[in-house]
């Protein structure tokens, strides 16, 4: 349209203008372009609506996920607490069993101690009795020694069915036996015979 000499080709410009007017007069193209713009706007609006709905759904799901995470954490905490309670319960039951065993052992030991106390008391009683018997025997021996030194007669107490013994004369170093049968002599006769032996 414009050459190097700055001259305008009016015919060509007129032809271009006519073509442009003709093009702009075609309603089909404008209508199609408008329809495309409307569809683009509708699609954009639909996409925006879908985006907002999806964004809302995502936020809701994120809230639900966070709630689930919180419940999971609480459940895990409760499960840990339950496990700890079970562990403590088992330890408690074991301690109860140990206590029962210790009580049983204590009962056995107490019974043994009581038995030993009874034995000790019995032994102590026997010791006292033995000591008394020893004292009685010593007293009897002293009496016997006294009687022997005074009467020179040592009675024999092994056989209770008869009265017997020995006559001891220290100076002469003589030992004589004597024996009386209570079934044949009266107590008076036996007593007189013993006095006669003493007075010899």
With contact defined as beta carbons under 8 Å apart, do 17 and 23 qualify?
A: no
Whether residue 144 sits in one domain with residue 77: yes
For residue 26, what pLDDT band results from cuts at 50, 70 and 90?
low
For residue 170, what pLDDT band results from cuts at 50, 70 and 90?
low
Distance CA 99, CA 110 (A): 16
The mean predicted confidence, pLDDT, of the chain is 77
Residue 166: Cβ within 10 Å count: 14
Token couple for 127: 């010791």
Residue 88 counted as domain residue: yes
Which residue's structure tokens are 């019995």? 122
Whether residue 161 sits in one domain with residue 138: no
pLDDT score of 96 more than 70 = yes
Residue 145 counted as domain residue: yes
**Total domain count, the chain:** 2
Residue 197 burial (CB < 10 Å; 0-12/13-18/19+)?
middle
Distance CA 86, CA 92 (A): 10
Residue 7 counted as domain residue: no
Q: Which residue has the higher pLDDT, 108 or 165?
A: 108
Q: Which residue has the higher pLDDT, 6 or 180?
A: 180
The residue-averaged pLDDT of 88-110 equals: 87
Residue 122 counted as domain residue: yes
Whether residue 84 sits in one domain with residue 138: yes
From first CA to last CA, the distance across the chain in angstroms is 200
Whether residue 144 sits in one domain with residue 172: no
Residue 99 counted as domain residue: yes
Residue 12 counted as domain residue: no
Distance CA 76, CA 72 (A): 6
Residues 6+ apart with CB under 8 A from 2: 8, 9
Q: What is the pTM of this model?
A: 0.37
Give the domain extent around 167.
Answer: 156-200
Whether residue 165 sits in one domain with residue 146: no
Whether residue 198 sits in one domain with residue 143: no
Residue 125 counted as domain residue: yes
pLDDT score of 4 more than 50 = no
pLDDT score of 87 more than 70 = yes
- What crossing angle do the helices spanning 27-151 and 10-25 adopt, rounded to 10°? 60
pLDDT score of 191 more than 70 = yes
Pick from 81, 60, 52: which is nearest to 68 by CA?
60
Given 151, 166, 188, the domain boundary residue is 151
pLDDT score of 118 more than 80 = yes
Residues 6+ apart with CB under 8 A from 182: 161, 162, 163, 190
pLDDT score of 89 more than 80 = yes
Token couple for 66: 């966070």
């Amino acid at each position: 349209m414009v050459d190097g000499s700055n001259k305008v080709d009016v015919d060509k410009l007129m032809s271009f203008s006519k073509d442009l007017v003709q093009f702009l007069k075609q309603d089909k193209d404008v209508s199609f372009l408008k329809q495309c713009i409307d569809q683009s706007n509708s699609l954009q609006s639909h996409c925006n609506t879908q985006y907002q709905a999806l964004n809302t759904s995502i936020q809701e799901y994120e809230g639900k996920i966070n709630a689930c995470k919180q419940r999971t954490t609480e459940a895990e905490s409760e499960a840990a607490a339950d496990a700890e309670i079970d562990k403590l319960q088992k330890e408690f039951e074991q301690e109860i069993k140990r206590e029962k065993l210790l009580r049983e052992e204590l009962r056995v030991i107490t019974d043994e101690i009581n038995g030993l106390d009874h034995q000790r008391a019995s032994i102590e009683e026997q010791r006292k009795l033995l000591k008394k018997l020893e004292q009685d025997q010593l007293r009897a021996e002293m009496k016997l020694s006294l009687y022997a030194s005074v009467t020179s007669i040592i009675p024999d107490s092994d056989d209770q069915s008869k009265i017997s013994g020995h006559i001891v004369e220290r100076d002469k170093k003589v030992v004589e036996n004597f024996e009386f049968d209570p079934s044949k002599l009266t107590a008076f006769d036996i007593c007189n015979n013993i006095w006669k032996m003493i007075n010899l």
